[in-house]
A and B are shown apart, each in its own frame.
Chain A
Amino acid sequence: MQIDKDLVAASATPMVLAILAEGSNYGYAILKRVRELSEGELEWTDGMLYPLLHRLDRFGFVTTEWRTPPEGRRRKYYALTDEGHAALAEQKRQWVTVTRALGDVWGGGLSQLAVQGGI
C-alpha cells in the first residue's frame, strides 16, 4: 500500500512529537521508530526529517543537545519541551476528531466488509 504523500507530510509532525514524548532521541533512531510503528508503510525520505526537526526546534517544541554515548557516535538528541507536549496534545485532539469522524462514516461499511469477507 502506498500512502498518499500529503497524508505522510501531515502526519509527520504528530508522529515525531509522539515519538519524542517517549523520551529524547536522535534522528536516525526516530526514523527507525517510525518504520517500526507503521510496519514500513510510512515511507519517509530520510533527509526530510531534519528540516522538520529544526522547525520544531525553532517553534520551541524541542530542545537539542549534542551527546556522545560511551560507545558510539556524537549525535544530536532532541527532547520534547512543555510546549512540545502541549502541541502534541493539540495534534492528538485534531487527529482523534478526524479519525472518529471517518470511523463513523465508514463504520457500517467496514463491519459489512468484514462480514462479507468472513472475518
Chain B
Amino acid sequence: MESLELQIAEWRSFVGRQPAVGGRDMEELETHLRDQVADLNAAGLADDEAFLVAVKRMGGLDVLSREFAREHSGRLWRQLVLSGAEDDAAAVDNRWPEALLFAVGAAVAIQIARVVAAFPEEEPAWLFRNAILLVLPFLAGWFARRRQLPRRQSLVLAGSFLAAAVAINVYPWGDGGTTQGLATVHLLVVLWFVVAYAYIGGDVASHEKRMDFVRFSGEWFIYYVLIALGGGVLMALTAGILGPAGIDAERIAEWVIPSGAAGAVIVAALLVESKQRVVENMAPVLTMLFTPLFAVMLTVAAFAYALTGFGRAFDRELLGLFDVLMVVVLGLVLYGMSARDRSKPPGWMDRIQLVAVVGALLLDVMVLVSMATRIGDLGLTANRVAALGLNLLLLVNLAMTAWLSFRFLSERGTFHRVERWQTAYLPVFAVWAAAVVVVLPPAFSFA
C-alpha cells in the first residue's frame, strides 16, 4: 500500500508540473486514478500492476496536457507545453532576425515618407493620413509569414491594405477639415482589424482566436508603452548630453523618433509573441490595479454629472474625452476578460468590472441625451455623427455586457456568454470605423 502512495505522489508531482493542469484538476485526476486502481484491485490485480494500467489508461502526459491547454488556453496561452520550454528560447532567437527585418522595413518606409514630406518643417496632411498605412502592413506581413497564411488569405490581406490606401487618398480633402481627421483616426481602427485578420491566420469564424487577438492587443499596448517610455528617457538624455557638445539633438530626434516609433510596433509584437511569461506576470496585475480605480472614477463621474447635469460644460473636447474614456473602459474590460481564468467561479474582480461597466453605461446614456439635445439645437456635423455612432455602439455593447455579467454573477449565466458577446461584437466596431472612413467624408462634403 505504501509503495502505491509513493507512486501516486510521484505521478502527482509529474502531472503537476504541467502548467495547463490546475490544482483542482489535479485533484480530480487523482481521484479518478485511485478509483481505477481500486477497481483493478478488486478484479485481482496487485497494487503496482493496477497503478500501471490506470496510468496507461489516463493517457500520455503530452497528449493530456495538450488537451488541457486547448480547453484552458487562458491559463496557458503561451502554450509552452506544445512547443516545450527548452526550444522556446531557441525559437525566439530564430524569430529575431525575421522580425527585425520587418521592423527595419517599417522604420525605413516611414523615414522615406518623412524625408519626402520634409517633416517637421512642412506638415503635409497626406503624411498624417498615410503614416499608419506605412507601418501596419509590416506588422500584418510579419504575422502572415509567421502563421504561414495561405495564398487566398494573403490576397485578402494585401487587398484590404490596398483598398484602405485608395480610400484614404482618393477623396478631395479640404484643408484642415474635420472629416479628414476623423477618417485618419478611424483608419487606424480599421487597419488594426486587418492586422487581426493576419494574426488569427484568416480564421475569422473562431471566437477563441478573436479573444486571443484581444489579449494580444492589450499586451502589445503594454509593451509599446514601455518601449516608448524607454525611448523618451533615451531621447531626453541624448538632448541633455549632446546639446552642450554643440550637436543639435532636434535633428537626431527627427530621425530617431519616427523610425523608432514605427519599428517598435513590430518589436512589441515580437515581444508579446515570444516573451509571454514576462507580460503574463504584469498584465493581470495592471488590470487588477486599474479596473477598481476606473470603477471608482466612473462611479464618481456618473454621480457628479447626474447631479450637475452636463449643461454648458459639455463642449466638443469633453465629448471627445468621454469617448476616449469609454473606449479605454471597454478595452480594460475586454482585456480583463481575455486574461481571466475561465474555469473560475465569479469573484470580486468580476463584480468590480460590472461596477465599471455600469458606471460607463450611465455616463454613456447622459452623453447621448446631451448630444441629442445638442444635435436638435445645432444640427448634425461630421464630428457629431461620428461621436453619436460610437456612443450608440458602446451603449449597446455595455448594456448587454452589464446584463450578461449580472446574470453570470448571480449564477444564472456563464462567463462564456459574456465573452462570446464581446467577440461577436468586434466586427461591428470594424464596420463602423470603415463607414466613418468611407461614407462619412462624402456625406459631409469633406468639410
Contact B36 A46 (CB under 8 A): yes
Contact A54 B32 (CB under 8 A): no
Interface string of A42-64 (1 = CB under 8 A from B): 00011110111011011110000
User: Is A93's CB within 8 Å of the partner chain B?
Assistant: no
Contact A45 B72 (CB under 8 A): no
**Which single residue of chain A is at the shortest CB-CB distance from B54?**
A46
A116 vs B357: C-alpha distance when bound (angstroms): 70
Contact A74 B71 (CB under 8 A): no
Contact B416 A58 (CB under 8 A): yes
Interchain CB contact (< 8 A) of A58 among B34, B63, B414: B414
**Which single residue of chain B is at the shortest CB-CB distance from A26?**
B31
User: Is B93's CB within 8 Å of the partner chain A?
Assistant: no
**Which single residue of chain B is at the shortest CB-CB distance from A31?**
B32
Task: Name the prevailing secondary structure of the A interface residues.
Answer: helix
> How many chain A residues have a CB neighbour from B under 8 Å?
21
Chain B min CB distance to A19 (Å): 15
The verdict on A46 contacting B417 (CB below 8 Å), with A27-B32, A28-B32 known, is no
Contact B31 A73 (CB under 8 A): yes
Q: Which residues of A contact B29 (CB under 8 A)?
A: 47, 50
Contact A50 B416 (CB under 8 A): no
Contact A57 B343 (CB under 8 A): yes
User: Is A100's CB within 8 Å of the partner chain B?
Assistant: no
Interface string of B335-354 (1 = CB under 8 A from A): 00000001100000000000
Q: Which residues of B contact A60 (CB under 8 A)?
A: 413-414, 416-417
Chain A min CB distance to B290 (Å): 26
> How many chain B residues have a CB neighbour from A under 8 Å?
28
Q: Which residues of A contact B415 (CB under 8 A)?
A: 58
Contact A46 B28 (CB under 8 A): no
A27 vs B28: C-alpha distance when bound (angstroms): 8
Chain A min CB distance to B294 (Å): 27
Interchain CB contact (< 8 A) of A74 among B31, B58, B67: B31
**Which single residue of chain A is at the shortest CB-CB distance from B22?**
A54
Contact B59 A47 (CB under 8 A): yes
Interface residues of A in 12-26 (CB under 8 A from B): 26
Contact B417 A28 (CB under 8 A): no
User: Is A92's CB within 8 Å of the partner chain B?
Assistant: no
A26 vs B343: C-alpha distance when bound (angstroms): 17
User: Is B35's CB within 8 Å of the partner chain A?
Assistant: yes
User: Is B57's CB within 8 Å of the partner chain A?
Assistant: yes
A74 vs B31: C-alpha distance when bound (angstroms): 8
A50 vs B68: C-alpha distance when bound (angstroms): 8
Contact A51 B31 (CB under 8 A): no
**Which single residue of chain A is at the shortest CB-CB distance from B417?**
A60
Contact A50 B25 (CB under 8 A): yes
Chain B min CB distance to A31 (Å): 8
A26 vs B70: C-alpha distance when bound (angstroms): 22
A74 vs B34: C-alpha distance when bound (angstroms): 11
Q: Which residues of B contact A74 (CB under 8 A)?
A: 27, 31
Chain B min CB distance to A109 (Å): 36
Contact B57 A45 (CB under 8 A): yes
Q: Which residues of A contact B413 (CB under 8 A)?
A: 60
**Which single residue of chain A is at the shortest CB-CB distance from B65?**
A47
Q: Which residues of B contact A47 (CB under 8 A)?
A: 29, 58-59, 63-64, 67
Q: List 10 A-B contacts (CB under 8 A).
A: A26-B31, A28-B32, A46-B58, A48-B67, A50-B25, A50-B28, A51-B72, A52-B71, A58-B342, A58-B343
15 further contact pairs, Cβ within 8 A, besides A28-B35, A58-B416: A26-B31, A27-B31, A28-B36, A45-B60, A45-B64, A46-B57, A46-B58, A46-B59, A50-B28, A50-B29, A51-B70, A51-B71, A52-B71, A60-B416, A60-B417
| Interface residue ranges, B against A (CB under 8 Å) | 24-25, 27-29, 31-32, 34-36, 57-60, 63-64, 67-68, 70-72, 342-343, 413-417
| Interface residue ranges, A against B (CB under 8 Å) | 26-28, 31, 45-48, 50-52, 54-55, 57-60, 73-76
